[in-house]
Amino acid sequence: MIAPTRMALMAACALSLTAPAARALDLNDMTEAEQTAFGAAVRSYLMENPEVILEAVDVLEQQQAQADARRDEALVAANLQELQDDGYSWVGGNPDGDITLVEFMDYRCGYCRRAAPEVEALLAADSNIRFVIKELPILGDASVLSSRFAIATKLVAGDAAYKDIHDTLLAFKGEPNEVAMRRMAEGLSLDADAILAKMDAPEVNEQLRRTRTLAQTLSISGTPTFVLEEEMLRGYLPADQIQIMIEEIRAARS
Residue 53, C-beta contacts closer than 8 angstroms, at least 6 positions apart = 10, 13, 14, 17, 46
Assign 90 to helix, strand or coil: strand
Across 32-41, 100-109, 235-244, the highest mean pLDDT is recorded for 100-109
| Position with higher pLDDT, 204 vs 51 | 204
In this predicted structure, what is the pLDDT of residue 120?
96
Least reliable range by pLDDT among 63-77, 89-103, 136-150? 63-77
pLDDT digits (tens, 9 = 90+) for 114-123: 999 999 999 9
pLDDT digits (tens, 9 = 90+) for 14-71: 445 545 544 455 667 788 888 888 888 888 887 888 887 778 777 777 777 766 777 8
The DSSP-derived string for 35-84 is: HHHHHHHHHHHHHH-THHHHHHHHHHHHHHHHHHHHHHHHHHHHTHHHHH
**CATH architecture of the domain formed by 81-253:** 3-Layer(aba) Sandwich (3.40)
Phi, psi (degrees; rounded to nearest 5) at 85: -150, 65
Q: Which residues pair with 233 in a beta bridge?
A: 226
At 245, the pLDDT band (50, 70, 90 cuts) reads: very high
Phi, psi (degrees; rounded to nearest 5) at 227: -125, 110
Instruction: Decide if 223 contacts 111 (C-beta within 8 A).
Output: yes
Phi, psi (degrees; rounded to nearest 5) at 139: -110, 35
In this predicted structure, what is the pLDDT of residue 11?
46
Residue 74 CB-density burial (10 A; 0-12 exposed, 13-18 middle, 19+ buried) = exposed
Sign of CA dihedral 49, 55, 57, 60: negative
Instruction: Decide if 228 contacts 244 (C-beta within 8 A).
Output: no
- Give the residue range(s) of CATH 3.40.30.10 domains in the chain: 81-253
Residue 42 CB-density burial (10 A; 0-12 exposed, 13-18 middle, 19+ buried) = middle
Assign 138 to helix, strand or coil: coil
Residue 141, C-beta contacts closer than 8 angstroms, at least 6 positions apart = none
Residue 46 CB-density burial (10 A; 0-12 exposed, 13-18 middle, 19+ buried) = middle
